Chain A
Amino acid sequence: KQEVTQIPAALSVPEGENLVLNCSFTDSAIYNLQWFRQDPGKGLTSLLLIQSSQREQTSGRLNASLDKSSGRSTLYIAASQPGDSATYLCAVRQGSGNTPLVFGKGTRLSVIA
């Protein structure tokens, strides 16, 4: 059974700092991996999707990497801003069909002005 772990559980950084969020998964046979952002009490916003054949994806200040063989992904946030404060969730998809995502518990990020 796939298990997804995110470290750290919470992180507080000053504005402008670069930071890395970590995600690991136990079964490397994944189809893709997706990073989401969740604001308190809200739904999920997709940030980046990495297919199993890819090594990284970039969107603006965000860069996600994937090392499928070692079961790891990182989300790099450059020049953090207070508006980046949210919970970041990592989720993996096992198959190409309509298979549900398996989520980590998330990293709660606070960026202090």
Chain B
Amino acid sequence: SAVISQKPSRDICQRGTSLTIQCQVDSQVTMMFWYRQQPGQSLTLIATANQGSEATYESGFVIDKFPISRPNLTFSTLTVSNMSPEDSSIYLCSVAMNYGYTFGSGTRLTVV
């Protein structure tokens, strides 16, 4: 099964700053998905990242706020820009494999 290494596992950031989250997969995958989980809520899809093209964002999420890079088939980053306390959430990356979806261990972000 695929293994995803996600970093950092947690961070406390000042409002107005940016944080970049990294996901490294141990096999090549076409698509990577980025999710947000706000406190007490389920997972909401932010965007889908395909290597070599711009990410596709879901309604309510914009590239200026959540820029995504996908430089190759095993790596992606999500940046949370100009953070506010409302951005405090767990952020997770995911890939689809034949046997189902695999998730990174998550990044727990607190904005103060």
Chain A residues close to B by CB (< 8 Å)? 32, 34, 36, 41-44, 46, 49, 89, 91, 93, 98-101, 103-106
Assess whether B48 is in contact with A98, with CB atoms less than 8 Å apart. Answer: yes
| Docked CA distance A49–B101 (Å) | 9
Mask: chain B, 63-92; 1 = CB below 8 Å from A; 0 = not: 000000000000000000000000000101
Assess whether A46 is in contact with B43, with CB atoms less than 8 Å apart. Answer: no
Q: B53 an interface residue at 8 Å Cβ cutoff? A: no
Assess whether B105 is in contact with A42, with CB atoms less than 8 Å apart. Answer: yes
> Would you call the interface of chain B mostly helix, strand, loop, or mixed?
strand
| Docked CA distance A99–B96 (Å) | 8
Give the shortest distance, in Å, between A22 (CB) and chain B (any CB): 15
| Docked CA distance A49–B99 (Å) | 7
Assess whether A91 is in contact with B48, with CB atoms less than 8 Å apart. Answer: no
Supply 29 A–B pairs (Cβ within 8 Å), ascending by A: A32-B100, A34-B100, A41-B90, A41-B106, A41-B108, A42-B106, A43-B6, A43-B90, A43-B92, A43-B105, A44-B92, A44-B103, A44-B106, A46-B101, A46-B102, A46-B103, A49-B100, A93-B96, A98-B48, A98-B96, A100-B33, A100-B45, A100-B48, A101-B33, A101-B94, A103-B42, A103-B43, A105-B42, A106-B42
Instruction: Please report which residues of chain B, range 24-53, place their CB below 8 angstroms from some CB of chain A when the two chains form the complex.
Output: 30-31, 33, 41-43, 45, 48
Assess whether A43 is in contact with B101, with CB atoms less than 8 Å apart. Answer: no
